[in-house]
């Protein structure tokens, strides 16, 4: 770790412990039954899925949609990081297709998918009002609690 990175790390305020950060931002871990539930879709979600052209884009969409249903956080959609969930999706929806390319989608299609998924789940990205609320209070724990309450109440995805 270089000196500048170390100095930046030491100056940051530590509010949440690693397990709390993981609970808030970590990718969900599903059981087989949960996969059946979270990776199923409603008619509007199925329509949105049909807009994806390739199997890779569809698998990425299903994966991100399931994660967003479980936890209102947008994940990068890297198919190689979720082998068990991806295998479940491929077996269920694309049993005769081999998916060789498991790299993330390009930025523009990935962002378009994420915006569509947030709309389907009735969420929106974090806005400046929520960011501003985090700068007002002097007590870090209060900031996090108030911010999370605000985000949940207004169905806003937590900022990174």
pLDDT digits over 71-92, tens only?
888 777 778 888 899 999 999 9
3-state secondary structure of 104: coil
CB-based burial of residue 75 (10 Å sphere; 0-12 exposed, 13-18 middle, 19+ buried)?
middle
**Can you tell me the distance from the alpha carbon of 57 to that of 109, in angstroms, rounded to the nearest whole number?**
8
DSSP state of 96: T
Sign of the C-alpha dihedral computed for residues 91, 95, 100 and 102 taken in this order: negative
**Can you tell me the distance from the alpha carbon of 160 to that of 147, in angstroms, rounded to the nearest whole number?**
13
Q: How far is CA 102 from the centre of its chain?
A: 17
3-state secondary structure of 124: strand
Q: Which residue has the higher pLDDT, 15 or 70?
A: 70
pLDDT tens-digit readout, 97-141: 888 888 888 889 888 998 999 899 888 776 655 456 556 655 667
């Amino acid at each position: 770790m270089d000196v500048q990175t170390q100095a930046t790390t030491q100056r940051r305020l530590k509010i949440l412990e690693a397990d709390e950060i993981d609970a808030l931002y970590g990718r969900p871990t599903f059981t087989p039954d949960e996969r059946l539930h979270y990776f199923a879709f409603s008619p509007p979600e199925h329509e949105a899925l049909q807009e994806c052209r390739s199997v890779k884009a569809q698998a990425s969409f299903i994966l991100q949609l399931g994660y967003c249903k479980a936890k209102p956080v947008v994940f990068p959609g890297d198919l190689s990081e979720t082998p068990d969930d991806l295998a479940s999706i491929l077996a269920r929806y694309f049993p005769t297709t081999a998916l060789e390319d498991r790299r993330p989608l390009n930025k523009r299609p990935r962002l378009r998918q994420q915006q569509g998924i947030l709309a389907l789940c009735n969420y929106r990205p974090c806005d400046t009002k929520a960011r501003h609320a985090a700068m007002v209070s002097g007590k870090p724990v209060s900031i996090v609690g108030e911010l999370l309450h605000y985000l949940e109440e207004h169905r806003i995805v937590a900022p990174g």
